[in-house]
């Protein structure tokens, strides 16, 4: 397929890997923020292609994984309200909450439907005027504009039974929290390509400036990622950290201004609760007062029991890059994609799922 196949060429990948190996003299640690990158890095064996001097860690960039248990419990409680239809993206329904999951709620009779797009959620509301249709709004900056658009669409078409539970999260603020905590030392960040399509490259500028950590925005094909790693190694070797775009076919420095303006019209920035990290100020999106009729938090009140985390699950540590999936005692033994203990094994972008799917044990031993 055009714009995909060209960036998967094996020979070019080897040439690039060779160049990275030649360039890299000091041992460095990079974090790929985005779960999509983790998945591609494992799938294409990029960990094995890059020299031993380059260590890769996964970050918090999996919206399903970072959804706090308390928020998930709230979604499950909403599903049990009478005359409610829950609409959500696919991975969300299998994530275990404290006491149940959306899938289990569905098995118990709740109406829970997987949608591909927020457009579908609005259409379900239109087709079911007697039901309250709640969309579980998870995602980063990439997805937020589509959720904002669904609220605007519902308003425009006078669909009064459509609601959003806004659990949207923002990327740069959580990067700051990770860097401030100093829990793991990073030399460079593989910045999320599709988040950057929306917000551009400027919101990362504080990272090289204040933390001297290199930032390169990457696409998702193997050659894109190798090119990004090459640029990161170059910046770090030169001691000149900055923000670079290695995915210029879709990312512009200013981002997608129209999409972000629309998002800011519907949402205001507020705190958000992140699994494994906790409350991060200025890292979430709340529905603005002028659209409060669509805000599930305003329209419904549920009081789920206090949350509890799955016992033994180290998803929180994995999300912060502080542990590798293999360091979790449950990995592969108790926790598998068929019976996941934590969200990092459920989501197709979760680090545990990626290591389970693509990590042959012999390659993973030295982690």
Which residues here bind ligand SF4, judged by CB under 6 A? Answer: 313-315, 318, 325, 328, 330-331, 335, 341-342, 344-345, 352
Distance of alpha carbon 309 from alpha carbon 16, whole angstroms: 42
Nearest to 189 by CA among 177, 200, 204, 202: 204
CA atoms within 13 Å, Cβ hemisphere of 205: 7
d(CA 249, CA 311): 44
Q: Scanning residues 163 to 222, which ones bind other proteins (CB under 8 A)?
A: 192-195, 197-198
Q: Which is nearer to other proteins, 16 or 77 (CB)?
A: 16
Chosen from other proteins, ligand SF4, none, partner binding at 342 (C-beta under 5 to 8 Å by type): ligand SF4
Among 139, 100, 132, 99, CA closest to 118: 139
Query: What does DSSP assign to residue 169?
Result: B
Backbone angles phi, psi at 14, to 5 degrees: -65, -40
Nearest one of 276, 255, 304 to 97, comparing CA atoms: 304
Distance, CA of 343 to CA of 351 (rounded, Å): 10
Q: Which does 241 bind (CB under 5 to 8 A by kind): ligand SF4, other proteins, none?
A: none
Please choose which of ligand SF4, other proteins, none residue 38 contacts, taking the beta carbon within 5 to 8 angstroms, the exact cut-off set by kind: none
Is 156 an interacting residue with respect to other proteins (CB under 8 A)?
A: no
For ligand SF4, the closer of residues 303 and 339 by Cβ is 339
**From the list other proteins, ligand SF4, none, partner contacted by residue 4 (C-beta under 5 to 8 A by kind):** other proteins
CB of 267 to ligand SF4, least distance (A): 29
Select the residue interacting with other proteins from 58, 132, 143, 273 (CB under 8 A): 143
- In eight-state DSSP terms, residue 62 is -
Closest CA to 316 of 138, 165, 183: 183
Non-local (6+) Cβ contacts of 151 within 8 A are: 162, 164, 266, 287, 291, 294
Contacts of 182 (CB under 8 A, 6+ apart): none
Site string for other proteins, 79-118 (x = CB under 8 A): ----------x-x------------------------xxx
- To 10 degrees, what angle do helices 118-127 and 144-156 make? 30
Specify the residue, 178 or 341, whose C-beta has the smaller distance to ligand SF4: 341
Cβ nearer to ligand SF4, comparing 51 with 307:
307
Q: How far is Cα 14 from Cα 22, in angstroms, rounded to an integer? A: 12
1 binds other proteins (CB under 8 A): yes
Considering only residues 32, 73, 230, 295, which one is a binding residue for other proteins as defined by CB under 8 A?
A: 230
> Would you give the binding string for other proteins spanning residues 266-305, x where CB under 8 A is met?
----------------------------------------
Partner touching 91 among ligand SF4, other proteins, none, CB below 5 to 8 Å by kind: other proteins
The helix (H) or strand (E) run that includes residue 57 is strand 54-61
Residues engaged in binding other proteins (CB under 8 A): 1-4, 6-7, 9, 11-12, 14-16, 18-19, 22, 34-36, 61-64, 89, 91, 116-120, 138-140, 142-143, 145-146, 149, 192-195, 197-198, 223-224, 227, 230, 246, 248-252, 256, 258-259, 262, 347, 349
């Amino acid at each position: 397929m055009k714009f995909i196949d060209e960036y998967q060429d094996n020979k070019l990948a080897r040439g690039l890997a060779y160049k990275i190996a030649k360039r890299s003299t000091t041992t460095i640690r990079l974090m790929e923020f985005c779960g999509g990158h983790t998945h591609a890095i494992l799938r294409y064996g990029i960990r094995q292609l890059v020299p031993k001097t380059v260590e890769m860690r996964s970050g918090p960039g999996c919206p399903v994984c970072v959804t706090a248990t308390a928020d998930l419990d709230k979604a499950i409680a909403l599903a049990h309200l009478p005359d409610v239809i829950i609409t959500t993206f696919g991975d969300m329904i299998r994530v275990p909450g404290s006491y149940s999951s959306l899938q289990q709620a569905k098995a118990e009779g709740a109406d829970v439907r997987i949608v591909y797009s927020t457009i579908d959620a609005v259409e379900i509301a239109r087709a079911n005027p007697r039901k309250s249709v709640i969309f579980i709004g998870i995602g980063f900056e990439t997805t937020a504009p589509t959720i904002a658009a669904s609220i605007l669409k519902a308003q425009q078409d006078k669909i009064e039974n459509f609601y959003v539970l806004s659990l949207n999260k923002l990327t740069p603020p959580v990067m700051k929290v990770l860097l401030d905590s100093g829990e793991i030392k990073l030399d460079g960040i593989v910045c999320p390509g599709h988040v950057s399509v929306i917000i551009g490259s400027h919101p990362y500028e504080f990272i090289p400036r204040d933390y001297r950590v290199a930032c390169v925005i990457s696409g998702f094909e193997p050659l894109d990622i190798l090119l990004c790693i090459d640029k990161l190694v170059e910046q770090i070797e030169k001691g000149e950290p900055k923000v670079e775009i290695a995915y210029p076919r879709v990312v512009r420095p200013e981002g997608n201004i129209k999409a972000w303006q629309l998002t800011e019209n519907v949402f205001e920035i507020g705190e958000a609760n992140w699994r494994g990290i906790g409350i991060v100020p200025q890292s979430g999106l709340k529905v603005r007062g002028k659209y409060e009729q669509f805000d599930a938090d305003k329209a419904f009140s549920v009081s789920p029991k206090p949350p509890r985390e799955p016992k033994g699950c180290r998803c929180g540590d994995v999300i912060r890059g502080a542990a590798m999936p293999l360091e979790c005692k449950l990995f592969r033994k108790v926790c598998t994609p068929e019976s996941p203990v934590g969200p990092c094994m459920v989501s197709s972008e979760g680090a545990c799922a990626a290591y389970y799917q693509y990590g042959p044990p012999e390659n993973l031993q030295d982690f």
